[in-house]
Amino acid sequence: MLLRRMGTLQVVIGHTSGALRDAAVLGYRVSPLFSYYSYHGPVFRVMLQVNRGRVPENRHYGFISYCPQCGNSQSYSWDELGKISCPCNNGEVSPSLVVSGPLWTGPLHDGDYVTEMLNLVGQWRWTSNRDTDLEKFLKQIIDESDPNLPFGYIKLDEIGSRAKMNTPSLSTLMSALQKEGYAVSRSHISPNSIKTNCPLTMCIQIARQLQNG
Ligand SMILES: [Zn+2]
């Protein structure tokens, strides 16, 4: 359930960067430039960059927890493994807490790199010559690469079923979250979902306010 919730790209990157974790000892670091998932196939594509230089303390390579009780999801570094807890249990370990990893918990794309891709698309007139949504797609990928966004996404259906109400539209909820100061984007992995640094419990509260407002 957890992996379906967050997507499998992180696992793919996790395996790759896991193998190259040993290479880190030799002074290399790995980071994703562009990641792509398509339901048809399914297709998983990850473009990684290998640079000389050390990763600070295995940043973005760790574990994630999911609490089926409250739906909260968090990431943990190796050092924090013994401190995994859930807010719904007053910071204590929830008995039903599911932990996965090690995997990639950082951004799936490099925003600057994808912006360059978008510029090339304009220069090469790929959008005007071909009938594709390439430009729109790349803009969405750039939105997803916001480093303030967490590893996973939240399905609107999950907000609806936990709040026991019909969820507001994706765009209504997104602008409400932005107004509250949270980072938010769509997810190319799951169409009716959002990526946000707003905790699920707060998303539910905001969705309820929208319905009552
Ligand atoms: Zn919980």
- pLDDT single digits (tens) 88-127: 888 777 778 889 888 888 889 999 999 999 999 888 887 6
Give the Å distance between the CA of 79 and the centre of ligand 1: 21
Read off the pLDDT of residues 121-131 as tens digits, 9 standing for 90 and up. 888 887 655 55
Interval between CA 165 and ligand 1 midpoint (Å):
20
pLDDT at site 140? 93
pLDDT per 10-residue tile (average), the chain, 213 residues: 55 63 72 88 86 72 88 88 85 82 87 95 74 83 94 91 92 97 94 94 94 81
Q: Which residues pair with 196 in a beta bridge?
A: 184
Q: Name the 3-class secondary structure at 160.
A: helix
DSSP 70: T
CATH architecture for residues 111-212? 2-Layer Sandwich (3.30)
Sign of CA dihedral 100, 74, 23, 144: positive
Residues linked to residue 100 through DSSP beta bridges, in sequence order: 64
Extents of the domains making up the chain: 2-104, 111-212
Q: What angle do CA 11, 170, 66 make, to 5 degrees?
A: 35
Q: Which two tokens stand for residue 148?
A: 């303030």
Q: How far is the CA of 90 from the centre of ligand 1 (A)?
A: 9
Concatenating the DSSP letter of every residue in 166-181 gives PPPPHHHHHHHHHHTT
Q: How far does residue 173's CA lie from ligand 1's centre (Å)?
A: 23
Look up the pTM and report it.
0.84
| Predicted pLDDT of residue 148 | 93
